[in-house]
Each structure stands twice: as structure tokens, then as C-alpha cells.
Amino acid sequence: MQFCLRTGPRAVPVRMDRPARVGLLVVIAVASLGCVTAGAISRRAINYNVAAETARNEMLLLNILRARSQYPMIFTGLSRITGSLRTEARIGGNTNLQSGDPIQQAISPSVGLIDSPTFDVAVLESQEFMRGIMTPLSFDLIEYLWDQGFTREVLLYLTVERIEVACARADSLRELVNEPGDPSFEAFQNALNALVESGTWEMDQNQAEAIGPAVDGTEAQRLAALIQVAGSRLTLKPLEGGTWQLERQTTNRRLVARGYEPCNGDRLRRGARATAGPVRFYDTKVAFERAIDTAPDETGGRIVLRSPQSVLFYLGELTRPGGQVVIRRGEATRTPEQRRLFVISEAAECGPGAIGATYGGTAYVIPTGEGACDPGRSLQSLSLAAQLLALQQSARDLPIGGTVRIVGQ
């Protein structure tokens, strides 16, 4: 009996008896079932990684487009991907029974790799998640990103909502708003550029923060015992009239600009005096008011930081007409289009971009071209926004229920 093992367009004749024929079929079937290799698994794992990247970037871009249109944001997260790989082996054959010819059989094995991923898409709308993305950022985080080498201008433009400056601490604060259409935006840019060029981080000296109302001697004795047991940094300060004040020793981080004179020619306030000394900016109203008591004649201020949600709203505002921001870094060698903070274009104008999303029936992209389609610092801004959003979340933000489960076929 003659067999034809089909390995290509032609069948190769091989003569075998029946036992050998059956053995060949078994060997082919067993070998086929072992075709899920490490390479196949690693390729699928990388594909899942790319899919997670695409899903996150498009979700962020879609919410920025919603913010531009002043629509509510909807956040989702790809919480889990479970891959399932299996092989499927098939063996087919045909027999030639024409008279005068030897009996021939053609064997046609086929092997297929089936990938059936299962992934969960969580709708992020829990109380913990919303509280996290609406919580303002802290100076601790900004200093960390500053020290890690993030472009200072991009970092400050995205995270600073406004800068409040007082030429004399007794005066009311003047707000410099980080919004291109605001009359104070040029003054805001001057302050931000001063921080970028000369800004340094400092820790002020220990400050005493009053806690609660003054107490009498009996209550003070009880508090003193509790302080000793707790081993805390709380202290009791004696006041006039035989009362006591519970205080806590605190330190505050501040961002200091040197060579910056907001009160010299900027007309911040009538009668404001010029200053050549350092201008210290705090991140909380309490810290700034405490600094007023220490040095009431110095020029200082406060930096109001955004929340991650506010960062996305800001990026949406930048994509509206007249809302573009051009940073200064590299201004001598780069065009204004290359220095734009964030850009979104219609796909019909700039073609396929790095990241795209469709909203309201129109396809939008972060462009990757030149001239009017230059992305500027868009990808860097989007990457920073994604990290800020992730840093304000926790594992509890991914609910066990309320997910959309999709099974790939």
C-alpha cells in the first residue's frame, strides 16, 4: 500500500503497511497538540499589553474631548485580561481506488492556534474613585516629579491652577490665573517662568499650629499625660490667664523663586514696593497665613494646585479656539507649533495620528506631522495626566461588580 504525505502543493508517495499508517497518525496528532510554545504565549502577552495601552490612551483622549464640549466625563479601566490559548489538530485524507493503480492515500494534517481572551472593563464611578480624582495634588508629589526630570514648564502648566501673590503680606492676594483668556494670564506666565528658571524647594522651620480652644489647668494636666503616652509632637503652651493651648509642630514645603519682582512695574497693587529678595510660595492657605505672621513685610504667595480631573478639563480647554499654550523651552531652535502644550486635530486634516478617538461622529487624533499638524508636547502632557490620574487611585477603585465582561471568540 502506498501513502502520499502532503506537505505542500504536491503529495510525496510513501509506502507503508497498516500498523505504520496508524502510528504515523498518532505521532502527528500528539505533536500537533504540543504546539503552544513559549513564543506564542509571549506574543499574546505583548499584544494584551498593547491593547491595554490603546484602551487607556483612547479613554483619556475621549474624556478630554468631552471636557472640551463641557460634557460629563466617564472613566473606565481595563481591570483584567485572561488569555486562553489552545491548539486544534485535524487530519484529513483521500484514497485513490482507480483500477490498475496501486492503492494510494493522501494525508493532510492541519494545526490551528485558537486565542480566546477574556477581559473585564470596570466603570470607575465609585465614591473612592471620584474622591481621589477630585483631590488636589500636593507639593510632595510635584517636588518628586520635579526631581525626576519632568519638563518643569509642562509639569507646572498642567498642575497649577493659579498663583496668588501679595506684594505686602498684609495686602489681599491677587490671583494670576492659568487660563489663556484671562487678563492675568501674562502675569501668570511671568511667575511660572520665574519658577522654572530659578525655582528651588525648601522646608520652612518648625511652626506651631494651634489645635482646638484654650483649656484650663485641669484639662491641661490630662492632655499632658495623653501627650506623654502617645509620644507625639504635640505640646502645651501656657497662655495668659492661667489657660493652656495645645499645639502641633509642623513643617511646610515651599517653592522659592529668586530674581522675580512681581511688584516692580507689574502694577499688581497701588503703592506696592519692589523687592529683589526670594519670593516664597506655599501650597495651603494655612501655611501662607502662618508665614504672614512670621514676616509680614515680605512678598510671597500661594500656589493652588489642580486635581487629576481638573488637569483633564484643562487639556480640554487648551483644544478650544484661542486656548492654546506655547511653552518657552527650546524657543530659539523650535517653532511655536513644536512648543504647543497640547494639540488635538481632526483626522481628516492631519491624517492618522499617534492616538485617536471618535466623538460626536468626528474622528480626532493627536497628530504626528509637521507644521500645523505637529504634536508639540501633547504626548508628554497626556502621559503625565495618565500618571497623575493613576496616582490618585487605589485597588479598591476597581469594583468587583459593575464590570462589562467580554469574551473573545
Sequential DSSP letters for 138-202: -HHHHHHHHHTT--HHHHHHHHEEEEEEESSTTSPPEEEE--TTSTTHHHHHHHHHHHHHH-EEE
Using the 8-state DSSP alphabet, how is residue 296 labeled?
T
What are the φ/ψ torsions at residue 79 (nearest 5 degrees)?
-80, -25
| Number of residues that this document lists for the chain | 409
Helix (H) or strand (E) run with residue 387 in it:
helix 378-391
Specify the DSSP class assigned to residue 339: G
CA 28 – CA 305 distance, rounded (Å) = 66
pLDDT of amino acid 208: 62
Q: Is 343 helix (H, G, I), strand (E, B) or coil?
A: coil
**pLDDT of amino acid 332:** 74
Q: Where are the domains of the chain?
A: 136-205+251-306, 209-248
DSSP-derived secondary structure for 23-72:
HHHHHHHHHHHT---HHHHHHHHHHHHHHHHHHHHHHHHHHHHHHHTTPP
Count CB atoms within 10 A of the CB of residue 409: 6
Report how far apart, in Å, the C-alpha atoms of 342 and of each of 61, 107, 154 are. 11, 61, 10
**Residue 90: which of 36, 37, 32, 34 has the closest Cα?**
32
> What would the pLDDT profile of 120-159 be if each residue is shown by its tens digit?
787 888 888 888 899 999 999 999 999 998 999 999 999 9
The model's pTM is 0.72
pLDDT for 271:
37
| pLDDT at position 155 | 96
pLDDT of residue 404: 45
Q: What distance in Å separates the CA atoms of residue 388 and residue 307, rounded to the nearest whole number?
A: 9
Residues 159, 3: Cα–Cα separation, whole Å = 74
Beta-bridge partners for 77: 122
Residue pLDDT, tens place only, 336-371 = 899 999 999 999 999 889 899 999 999 999 999 999
Residue 53 near residue 24 (C-beta atoms within 8 A): no
Give the pLDDT of residue 291. Answer: 76
Q: Which residue has the cell 511652626?
A: 207
User: Residue-wise pLDDT tens for the chain (409 aa)?
Assistant: 444 444 455 555 555 555 555 455 555 554 544 455 667 777 777 887 888 888 899 999 999 999 999 999 999 877 777 766 565 555 555 555 555 555 555 555 555 556 667 777 878 888 888 888 999 999 999 999 999 989 999 999 999 999 988 876 555 678 899 999 899 999 899 899 999 988 999 887 655 666 767 777 677 666 666 566 455 667 777 877 778 777 776 667 889 988 787 776 544 333 334 445 788 898 888 788 777 777 777 788 899 999 999 999 999 999 998 888 999 877 778 888 999 999 999 999 998 898 999 999 999 999 999 999 999 999 999 999 999 998 877 656 554 544 444 444 4
- At 240 the pLDDT is 75
**List of residues 6+ apart from 329 with CB closer than 8 A:** 151, 153, 339
Q: What whole-number distance in Å separates Cα of residue 158 and Cα of residue 337? A: 18
- CA pair distance 220, 60, nearest whole angstrom: 54
CB neighbour list of residue 306: distance below 8 Å, 6 or more residues apart? 136, 137, 158, 159, 160, 161, 314
Measured CA to CA, the distance from residue 143 to residue 303 in angstroms comes to: 13
Q: Are 97 and 52 in contact (CB under 8 A)?
A: no
Take residue 251 and report the three cell numbers written for it: 513643617
- Rounded Cα–Cα distance for residues 172 and 165 (Å): 9
Burial of 18 (0-12, 13-18, 19+ CB in 10 A): exposed
Residue 168 φ then ψ, to 5°: -130, 130
pLDDT at residue 401 in the model: 47
Q: Quick one: cell of 147?
A: 526631581
At residue 360, the 3 state secondary structure works out as: coil
CA distance 257 to 300: 10
